[in-house]
Amino acid sequence: MSSSAAAQKPSPKVGLVSLGCPKALVDSERIITQLKAEGYEISPDYAGADVVVVNTCGFLDSARAESLEAIGEALNENGKVIVTGCLGATPDLILGQYPSVLAVTGPHRYEQVMKAVHEVVPPQHDPFVDLVPAAGVKLTPRHYAYLKISEGCNHRCSFCIIPHLRGDLVSRPIDEVLREAENLVNGGVRELLVISQDTSAYGVDLRHRGAEWRGRERRAHMTDLAAALGELGAWVRLHYVYPYPHVDDVIPLMAAGKVLPYLDIPFQHASPRVLKAMRRPGNQEKVLSRLAAWRRDVPDIAIRSTFIVGFPGETEADFEELLAFLKEARLDRVGCFRYEAVDGAPANDLPDAVPEAVKEERWNRFMAVQQQISMEKLDAKVGRTFDVLVDEIDEEDGVICRSYADAPEIDGNVIIEEPARKLRPGEMVKVKITDAGEYDLWGEMV
């Protein structure tokens, strides 16, 4: 099945019954956040759900009885039930009464809940449409979370089918997003990854309607959102930022340490001719001078971008313009895709398709230029000290961490081979960089 055909299948739906205390509610919100980030929909009723998660309470006898009753009801109405929460700490009790329950997990075990959901209704991961990297769908560690702020997109880039599949931009109200972020941080999340198809357009559809949060009015606008998230004390990383002029307004928040000095800003190309055919804004002079201004204010800003080579009509001269831009822009992290026709994308009808062999050759040239830049940029970090977040303890390689410049799954890592003490995932430590590779850095704790 083609990727777009997969995406056109209806999204899998999960029902959620949440009982119990505020802590259980945090778990439920966390589960909902992750489900939505992975492309699941939340079903408001039993009948429409592919599976039902019952988040139980086991504190009082009455709560236990209510939880057991809810499990029974979900089984009757739907049949596919996963149980989590406090009552889940006693699986024998649940399975004794309801042997057909598919999985039982205890409280705060939302990773296991996600695993159980994946087994019943696998996520439909589609690299053309999805915001969370494939590996992130499998298992997002509990110390970072994807915060989805909107759905859909108002742009009409010619290579993209998202507006067709997901419709125009629909932003979530700012207070709802902030409350969810607050709950995530209260639940132990140290890094919030803001995602949407177009983060810089956040709130346009709501006419930036404000709402009160923590005693102050906040507009549904990327700058206000970033500033408010910056108050939570977690790392805030902005993804999929379309290069609008007002992106400049988040730079002071980065300079002030409120938001990570990291921008994921897909430029897609540098030739005005190709950008026009892509229906993207294109003025590379302006882009270069903006990059220079951002770096003047935040010298360490890490910029990630993606590009497409071999777009229909791309000439050798266009491609060389892209390489020249790349050399001048000296971006930190770069992904490059060979253009691929996606079913239903308007770009499929464009003339002058680039032959596969030429795409491949250009991709290789592009990657060679960027690899050199990435290596030089990583080399320049040797001897410096950074805060890093511990992601994983690997028996063989050491402690796998990330700095502000590394988004999970898509960027590199900072590796501590011999930690001075036992570290745990989610811990923040200072590391002095001792060595650099093509993508990763190595360092020691200070």
* Chain positions contacting ligand SF4, by CB under 6 A: 153, 155-157, 160, 162-163, 197-198, 242
Would you say 138 or 155 has its CB closer to ligand SF4? 155
Would you say 276 or 295 has its CB closer to ligand SF4? 276
Q: Is 336 annotated as a binding residue?
A: no
Helix 110-120 to helix 22-37 angle (10° resolution) is: 40
Closest to 444 (Cα-Cα) out of 399, 392, 412: 399
d(CA 242, CA 167): 17
d(CA 276, CA 140): 37
Would you say 153 or 298 has its CB closer to ligand SF4? 153
Would you say 28 or 271 has its CB closer to ligand SF4? 271
d(CA 165, CA 124): 14
Minimum distance of ligand SF4 from residue 408's CB (angstroms): 21
d(CA 361, CA 379): 27
Name the phi and psi angles at 265, rounded to 5.
-135, 95
What's the Cα-to-Cα distance from 260 to each of 20, 31, 193, 268, 429, rounded to whole Å? Answer: 35, 25, 10, 23, 16
d(CA 171, CA 379): 40
Structure tokens at 50: 């592919």
Question: What is the DSSP code (8-state) at residue 88?
Answer: G
Would you say 130 or 180 has its CB closer to ligand SF4? 130
Name the phi and psi angles at 38, rounded to 5.
-90, 5
Q: Is 160 annotated as a binding residue?
A: yes
Structure tokens at 388: 């890093």
Closest to 140 (Cα-Cα) out of 392, 424, 423: 392
Question: What is the DSSP code (8-state) at residue 436?
Answer: E
Minimum distance of ligand SF4 from residue 269's CB (angstroms): 12
98 touches 75 (CB < 8 A): yes
104 touches 94 (CB < 8 A): yes
Would you say 94 or 131 has its CB closer to ligand SF4? 131
Q: Is 401 annotated as a binding residue?
A: no
Minimum distance of ligand SF4 from residue 336's CB (angstroms): 15
Alpha-carbon dihedral sign for residues 242, 245, 251, 253: negative
Would you say 17 or 162 has its CB closer to ligand SF4? 162
Name the phi and psi angles at 107, rounded to 5.
-65, 155
Would you say 219 or 280 has its CB closer to ligand SF4? 280
Binding site, by residue number, is 21, 57, 86, 153, 157, 160
Give the residue numbers of the binding site for [4Fe-4S] cluster.
Answer: 21, 57, 86, 153, 157, 160
